[in-house]
Structure 1
Amino acid sequence: MTTTATPYGQDNFGFATEQVHAGESIDGDAGARITPIYLTAGFVFDSFDHAQARFNGDDGGLVYTRYGNPTTAAVEGRLTALEHGVDSLLVSSGQAAITVALLGILKSGDHFLSAPSLYEGSKTLFRENFARFGIEVEFVDDPHDIDDWRRRVRPNTRAVYGETIPNPKNDLIDIGLIADFARDQGLPFVIDSTASTPYLIRPLDHGVSIVVHSASKFLSGHGASLAGVVIDGGTFDWSRYPDKFPQFSTPIGGAGSPTLTEKFGRTAYLQYTRTIIAGRLGPVLSPLNAFLLQQGLETLSLRVAQHSRNALTVARWLEAQPEVASVDYPGLPSNPSHAIAQKYYPRGTGSVFGFTLRGGIGHARILIDALELFSRMSHLGDVRSLVLHPGTTSHAHLTEAERVRLGIFPGLVRLSVGIEDEADLIADLEHAFDVLRSGLGSVVVPATREAAAERGVAVGLPLSA
């Protein structure tokens, strides 16, 4: 037996309060304050009629962990509150979240539009795997040119897609501008908000229809598990477009029965995606991983604020180095996306970004190998600082011309800045640049915090500076 914990009966708490309390349940028998890990495949029915009612969806109860579980339900409730949505669906990874979110909308023969700058794994998913399903993606050339979006709309266009903070170039899109276009065209706008989290921006508040996250990243925060989430804003009127989206306007049980929108109202999309897409394809999230995500969410604002402060300090330092040709961080006034960052991201612009070394891949190799505090790995959003060379890892399958077109130059290095002391991060980078400048490929005695301070390294700068 569980009871939902809603202090004082209010639903208008601040972000930090919601990240601790929203959606949680208290075990009414044992009194456990934290939602327990319900490691069970299924759930007992009281009677024949009870089982029938559960499968018919009449009482909203649980049937099987593939469709829902008390642990995952508590976390879904918290994410729904944090994103200002109406319902959420947890799945096994960020890629699973993107897949089921779009397959809840798209079918064979459909077409959707996307902003050009995306996580490379999403692009290959769309171009290769979705193509096998008969679903076509088309990338606009300029996401800020609404006429470019309009020209590409076809009779079979069914969705618009983008990212809040694209990885690794951080070339921000004007979310409200694209949301207005999508609404005018009668299309749902799906956005991946992994790199920003709801602490930095709530896309649903800016007209987006559906938000997805790789919850393995900042939402969990500790690099210990995988998870993904789809959050429905409940604002897109699916019933208004029965020809475009027949799955929501077709009677569930045949003639005379209600449609999904009639039965579930604003949560029709999420109900369909949970039961018909995720429930049948089976990318279920383990209750254990849901619990780990729940633990991470409780400190989300604290971590992301520190991530953003550290990243801005690091970006400023890198921009001042003569070996660096460019720094792709929107928090810098010199960045082309700075105006959009000021409009949509007053709390900061995250901590994942690239910088390009003038010396190309050779300098990137020396620098990356000389780093000691930064871990060399392909993850991001970890409390630990991470470093990667996209040209030889995440984007290695592309041709050189394709990489250049995307701005993935040989000297591009991607950082995911963690929550360590910023002075230590700067000292590690300064040490690596010293190795680079000396022309040595081996690691020498690392710089210390004191050495960084003696050389005038600026740390502790405010985000607004």
Structure 2
Amino acid sequence: MTTFDTNAVHYGYDRAANANAASVPIYSTAAFDMESAARGDRLAGGEELGFSYSRVANPTIDALEKRLAALEGGQAAVAVSSGMAAVSFALLAAAEGGGRIIAPIDIYGASVDALATFFPQFGIHTDFVDDINDPDEVASAIRPETRAIFAESVANPSTRVTDVQPLADLAHRHGLPLIIDNTVPTPYLFRPIEFGADIVVHSTTKGICGHGNALGGVVIDAGRFDWTAGRHPQFTRIEQVISDERRGIPRSFASLFGNLAFIRRIRTKYVRTFGAVLSPFNAYQQLIGLETLPVRLDREVASTLNIAQWLNGHPHVEEVHYTGLPDDAQRALVDRYYPKGVGTILSFRIDGDRENLYRLIDSTKVFTYLPNIGDAKSLIVDPARITHREVPGEYRRRAGITDSDIRLSIGLEDPADLIADLDQAFRAAYHG
């Protein structure tokens, strides 16, 4: 199977190995019979792939991991309990032991908070750049202790697009991996690995699941970065958990797994140790969501563009941030990377004061006020007070987020109904 739509429905699942069940079964078990002491030894040491304990691997989750890796064009994946677990594990694993990460300032609020205020407690610091697409600014931030470059393919909530290919080339010239959060577009709209990204992360809670009913995240490895080049000693260090001490065979993740050292370290050290495990039931819900991903996004992207164009002409809207608009400054990048659209979120800035903003949000009837995106239901939120509340004011200002901004996530409702809902909410906010 080679097409995206077919792989989204079938890839990674063997019916014959699962009693010919048409749908992926939910393996609700904490552990698995390892069959023999010798096989248990091989499973524990990473010499054989299989299932022993669901904190490490589970067949339902395994099907989701294989499907997502295939859809992104990666070699292997590890699913975890949330998008922030995926982001945190990927960045901590890259900079483990102390180091620096380069990231743009205009990314998701919880990621900024982790990078700016929490990871430093573990000896990992971040150099934030204002324009991730400026190669000179990014290059000037690279130091001997830099361990990775991190960016969002489509920034949340500005929808600013990252020019991935030249950023990957720059990273690789300096021996750095490029880690891309691809949550907003999903692999249906954009596949960063095709343009040089080494690691891709997602909050599968969002568009991949598509119904706002199951938390999850995933780390996907392209399987081609050389982790032995010198900036990442954690991958060449001997590890007891994968060594064979009885036969006197010491192993590192790089020596045992080669270019898949990163993703195997994520599973063996991070998921197994920190325990941010995706539940089999949530994995099942995300597999079901994947089956309809192409048809959902086709409709939602068309509706998002329709609503962005309507907002663009509204007298109380000062700015619309949606790079999918035909006259957007990033149109050339959108045409290159996003022929099917940039995604289902947009943000806009209104005039007036905070009371106008509160009344507008509170007056909507079809939109739901909650901090999520990628749902089949359309959502509305004020980023400065909710999704980016934990971000220090200086960082919000650099990212261009103000108290007058509103973010929308467009779902499957009729766009005419959504526009009518916004129209009456604007009237209530300014004339009610």
TM-score class, shorter-chain normalisation, is over 0.9
Listed as ranges, the gaps of 5+ residues in structure 2 are: none
| Alignment-mate amino acid for residue 217 of structure 1 | K
Higher relative contact order (CA 8 A, sep 6+): 2
Is the aligned partner of 1:298 residue 2:287?
A: no
1:250 to 237, 245, 248: 237
| Alignment-mate amino acid for residue 264 of structure 1 | F
1:64-83 map, 5 Å: 64-83=53-72
**TM superposition shift of 1:251:** 4.0
| Aligned 8 A contact 2:130 2:398 in 1 | no
**TM superposition shift of 1:226:** 0.3
Q: Write the deviation string for residues 158-212 of structure 1: whole angstroms up to 9, x where unpaired.
A: 1000001111111222111211110111100001010010001000000000000
Q: C-alpha separation between the residues in 2 aligned to 1:57 and 1:402?
A: 42
| Aligned 8 A contact 2:113 2:390 in 1 | no
**TM superposition shift of 1:27:** 5.1
Match of 2:149, SS state, is strand
Is the aligned partner of 1:14 residue 2:7?
A: no
2:142 to 153, 159, 162: 153
Aligned length: 426
Is the aligned partner of 1:131 residue 2:131?
A: no
Q: Name 1:60's counterpart in structure 2.
A: 49
Is the aligned partner of 1:344 residue 2:337?
A: yes
Is the aligned partner of 1:203 residue 2:203?
A: no
| Aligned 8 A contact 1:360 1:412 in 2 | no
| Aligned 8 A contact 1:89 1:230 in 2 | yes
Q: Name 2:273's counterpart in structure 1.
A: 280
Q: C-alpha separation between the residues in 2 aligned to 1:89 and 1:314?
A: 36
Moved more, 361-370 or 208-217: 361-370
1:45 to 34, 43, 50: 34
Q: Write the deviation string for residues 29-70 of structure 1: whole angstroms up to 9, x where unpaired.
A: 632111100011111122222222222223312121111000
User: CA 1:248–1:433 in 2, change beyond 3 Å: closer, same or farther?
Assistant: same
Listed as ranges, the gaps of 5+ residues in structure 1 are: 1-10, 441-465
Match of 2:102, SS state, is strand
1:260 to 253, 266, 285: 253
1:143-182 map, 5 Å: 143-182=132-171
Match of 1:63, SS state, is coil
| Aligned 8 A contact 1:101 1:230 in 2 | yes
User: CA 1:105–1:352 in 2, change beyond 3 Å: closer, same or farther?
Assistant: same
Q: What TM-score do you get using the length of structure 2 for normalisation?
A: 0.95
Q: Name 2:77's counterpart in structure 1.
A: 88
Moved more, 304-313 or 53-62: 53-62
Is the aligned partner of 1:113 residue 2:106?
A: no
Match of 2:200, SS state, is strand
User: CA 1:398–1:86 in 2, change beyond 3 Å: closer, same or farther?
Assistant: closer
| Aligned 8 A contact 1:27 1:33 in 2 | no
**TM superposition shift of 1:258:** 4.2
Q: Name 2:400's counterpart in structure 1.
A: 407
**TM superposition shift of 1:128:** 1.8
| Aligned 8 A contact 1:360 1:409 in 2 | no
| Alignment-mate amino acid for residue 140 of structure 2 | R
Q: C-alpha separation between the residues in 2 aligned to 1:404 and 1:52?
A: 54
Q: Name 2:413's counterpart in structure 1.
A: 420
Match of 2:94, SS state, is coil
Match of 1:392, SS state, is coil
Q: In angstroms, what is the RMSD of aligned CA positions?
A: 1.7
**TM superposition shift of 1:349:** 1.0
Q: Which contiguous aligned blocks of 4+ residues in structure 1 show a shift greater than 4 angstroms?
A: 397-402
| Alignment-mate amino acid for residue 286 of structure 1 | S
| Alignment-mate amino acid for residue 389 of structure 2 | A
* Identity among equivalent pairs (%): 38
Match of 1:104, SS state, is helix
Q: Name 1:457's counterpart in structure 2.
A: none
Q: Name 2:385's counterpart in structure 1.
A: 392
Q: C-alpha separation between the residues in 2 aligned to 1:141 and 1:363?
A: 30
User: CA 1:353–1:287 in 2, change beyond 3 Å: closer, same or farther?
Assistant: same
Moved more, 43-52 or 402-411: 402-411
Q: Name 1:319's counterpart in structure 2.
A: 312
Q: Name 1:30's counterpart in structure 2.
A: 19
| Aligned 8 A contact 1:382 1:416 in 2 | yes
| Aligned 8 A contact 1:25 1:34 in 2 | no
| Alignment-mate amino acid for residue 292 of structure 1 | Q
| Aligned 8 A contact 2:382 2:406 in 1 | yes
**TM superposition shift of 1:376:** 0.8
Q: Name 2:348's counterpart in structure 1.
A: 355
| Alignment-mate amino acid for residue 422 of structure 1 | P
| Aligned 8 A contact 1:103 1:277 in 2 | no
**TM superposition shift of 1:125:** 0.8
